[in-house]
Structure 1
Amino acid sequence: MFVNEYFLDLHIHLGSTASGKPVKITASKSLTLENIIVEARDNKGLDMIGIIDCHVPEVMMQLEQWKNEGNLVEENGGGVSFKGLTLLLGSEIEIYDENCKGPIHVLCFLPTIDKMRLFSEWFAKRVTNITLSSQRIYESGRVLQEKVHELDGLFIPAHIFTPFKSLYGKGVVKSITEVFDAYLVDGVELGLSSNTLMASSVAELAPYPFLTNSDAHSLNKIAREYQLVTMKEPTFAEFRKVLKGEDGRRVMKNFGLNPYLGKYYNTACEKCFTLRVNEERYCTNCGHSKFTKGVSERIKELGHVTIDTAFRPPYIHQIPLEFIPGVGPKTLYKLRAAFQTEMNILHNVTEKELVEIVGEKIGTLIMKARSGELSFKAGGAGKFGSVTPE
């Protein structure tokens, strides 16, 4: 069966509703549905995105309004299409039940507006504030899984190795089965400080597809991580097939930050961000005694075997343009004016074409980012890593 290729980023937050009410407190207010669609479709070049705050009643009202106006179409296979961009309707939820020793974030996707409304009504009885993002559900993780699947949804643990609010976190869970029914997990999101090779050392993750998403809290962070998938068309049903690997649908490539660029790759001092090298009790720079355990250290604790990654799609260490030295707002404007979308700039434009627009130095750096030739300074304790100037 003929299939096409699509770019997907399935973890994008809303900062505010159409009326200006907050949704994700820590996200930029510029993250409205309208602005996200323009940025994702026109500037980034994505084909499908996941809006993971669609349980908010005002958000559903806006989607219904667009549908009634004829601007939004619900696809037969699920998902909604807005002028060339498909939206998957999702919700990020925090679990902290009797099986957890720390909070865990998960992504729940529903196929239609009606199914999301049913889910929101159920969720509203188990949460303090249904109008906000990433709220704690006063229900067990397994019950949440069952409800999502009862409504034909998808259940995906989010940024599973991040020190805070994740499945494996700083050490609160050693196995996915402590909190969830393994067969009701549809995939896992790796997060910014890990990649396929690192995650594959955790044997119990072998059955699950790996997803790489931005977890965008501002417009410019959309598509800092994403994936290329094959589907017949961009719908919820087709994406479900991608996760199951059915009928030729699959994740073709994961594009993510080099883990060194993530905020939590190495164990580091919580006060001054100095990396811990030899398990020092106190920071060698400022003497502070508290460290944030890095993802690399946590995965070593969890990893028991090295799994063959041949069956996994390639993980491409994609460097977002904003990480490349010299690419500020003016340069980015020039690039977009010349080549339209960031997907085109990062994947297709030739070195000669880049040099003509931004000069040899920046053009060369973009090409080196594409081919994985750049060097990095690792991040930790909440501070992003950086590209090392050459």
Structure 2
Amino acid sequence: MLTDYYADLHIHVGRNQYGRPVKITASNQLTIENILIEASERKGIDIVGVIDCQAPAVLAELQQMISDGKAVERNDGGIRFKHTTLILGSEIEIYDQNCQGPIHVLCYFPYLKSMTIFSNWLSEHMKNNQLSSQRFYGDAVALQQKTKELDGIFIPAHVFTPFKSLFGKGVKQSLEEVFHPDWIDAIELGLSADTPMADQIAELHRYTYVTNSDAHSLAKIAREYQLIRLKEPSFKELQMALQQIEERKVIKNFGMNPRLGKYYTTVCQKCLRPYKESPCPHCKSVTFIKGVADRIAELKTSSHSLSSRPAYLYQVPLEYIPALGPKTLEKLIDHFGNEMSVIHRVSKEALIPVIGERIAEKIIQLREGKLLIESGGGGKYGKIARK
């Protein structure tokens, strides 16, 4: 029997068990255990991909949690903690001689043993595998091949962002300039793109799309995620779903409206205002940061989205809603269990006695994709309009 599970497959570790940084720009509160508690008890996320597990200190901490009986390694891959399965992942910054610029990719492995082998192999190709997103100097296809040798999953990350991504600056036109197309398991869209945008590029039609948070803090976990149909929440089942084997599949993508992403619109690099002509009419600068929408327009080779694609539903994190502060969020979780319940299931009639009609109406508008958006760009997030 197949069941539907919520999954966010791109979450960073801020600090290891010794209090030392892993992802330097991430919150100190993003420890392995805190991530799992947040996902299991507050967010209602069934599967989390933690993408700094190549760090030896992170591997040691996970092994200790298993030894202490806090977690269990699943037979089909992944580590079970309460109601959540952790998928062991690693984000890597590729510097291949064929790249126009650095490219971030995500590599996932079923077991601590396979991730340990991968971590040791990485240490021969990078300076410091204790830290997140370190530079890999070598052949991108060799990295793909190593991932496949260890029965892993290979996914190019946030593929359209202007910096450190496949289509942002990594290649001129095609992923085949750098990667072996048959060794890609899925494409991560990133916060500034959605399914209809990505499907304008015909070579992506063969791949499953994933939508993930790229969380650098506990609050950002599950700002994007997907609903996946599986027999059980394990690595093997996830792998089957990405390859759409035996009815396993992604059945819905939940992502922020791309206009909320911080790279949707092309903006002046100096003043960050929308850039339509040179020089910038506001500050006279001639440099700009190309937005995802404009970059996709340059790459466009298809005029339609695949009818077989799962629905892409605009989902705004509760923290983005004006007037819904931390205390109100705590009240919602106390009453309804977790954020997934509030976002997707609780009726307006049930919400009103807890938080009042005005905020309840905003949550329903969120659910129905009716909130007004002010577009982001140049590293500045978009926002929900107050009126």
Shorter-chain TM range is over 0.9
The one of 358, 368, 381 equivalent to 2:378 is 381
Residue aligning to 1:88 = 87
Alignment of 1:23-38 (within 5 A): 23-38=22-37
1:219 and 2:197 correspond = no
3-state secondary structure, aligned to 2:259: helix
Which string of whole-angstrom CA distances, capped at 9 and with x for unpartnered residues, describes residues 364-390 of structure 1? Answer: 011011001111111000000111122
Alignment of 1:346-361 (within 5 A): 346-361=343-358
Residue aligning to 2:342 = 345
* Structure 1 stretch displaced more, 324-333 or 205-214: 324-333
3-state secondary structure, aligned to 1:81: strand
Q: Which amino acid aligns with 2:269?
A: E
Pairwise CA distance, 1:71: 1.9
1:274 and 2:273 correspond = yes
Pairwise CA distance, 1:41: 1.1
Alignment of 1:6-21 (within 5 A): 6-21=5-20
Which string of whole-angstrom CA distances, capped at 9 and with x for unpartnered residues, describes residues 52-93 of structure 1? Answer: 000000111111111122222111111111122100000000
Distance 1:231 1:354 in 2: 31
Pairwise CA distance, 1:171: 6.9
Pairwise CA distance, 1:151: 0.5
Taking every aligned residue pair, what percent have the same amino acid on both sides?
51
3-state secondary structure, aligned to 2:303: coil
Distance 2:254 2:172 in 1: 27
1:327 and 2:324 correspond = yes
Distance 2:14 2:46 in 1: 21
Q: Which amino acid aligns with 1:64?
A: Q
Which string of whole-angstrom CA distances, capped at 9 and with x for unpartnered residues, describes residues 170-226 of structure 1? Answer: 474310100000000000100000000000000000000000000001110000000
Distance 1:307 1:173 in 2: 22
Which string of whole-angstrom CA distances, capped at 9 and with x for unpartnered residues, describes residues 4-61 of structure 1? Answer: 0100000000001011010001111110011111111111100000000000001111
Residue aligning to 1:285 = 282
Alignment of 1:123-272 (within 5 A): 123-170=122-169, 172-272=171-271
3-state secondary structure, aligned to 1:220: helix
Distance 1:343 1:284 in 2: 44
3-state secondary structure, aligned to 1:168: helix
3-state secondary structure, aligned to 1:169: helix
Distance 1:368 1:316 in 2: 12
TM-score (normalizing by structure 2): 0.98
2:48–2:87 contact (8 Å) kept in structure 1: yes
1:60 and 2:43 correspond = no
Q: Which amino acid aligns with 1:362?
A: I
3-state secondary structure, aligned to 1:88: strand
Residue aligning to 1:305 = 302
1:170–1:293 contact (8 Å) kept in structure 2: no
Q: Which amino acid aligns with 1:11?
A: H
Q: Which amino acid aligns with 1:283?
A: C
Distance 1:289 1:299 in 2: 22
Residue aligning to 1:45 = 44
2:101–2:170 contact (8 Å) kept in structure 1: no
Distance 1:152 1:230, change over 3 A: same
Pairwise CA distance, 1:287: 2.5
Distance 1:64 1:115 in 2: 13
Q: Which amino acid aligns with 1:303?
A: K
Distance 1:36 1:282 in 2: 45
2:102–2:169 contact (8 Å) kept in structure 1: no
1:171–1:298 contact (8 Å) kept in structure 2: no
Distance 2:68 2:386 in 1: 50
5+ residue gaps, structure 2: none
1:73 and 2:62 correspond = no
Distance 1:305 1:285, change over 3 A: same
RMSD (CA atoms):
1.0
3-state secondary structure, aligned to 2:72: strand
3-state secondary structure, aligned to 2:114: helix
1:263–1:379 contact (8 Å) kept in structure 2: yes
2:205–2:306 contact (8 Å) kept in structure 1: no
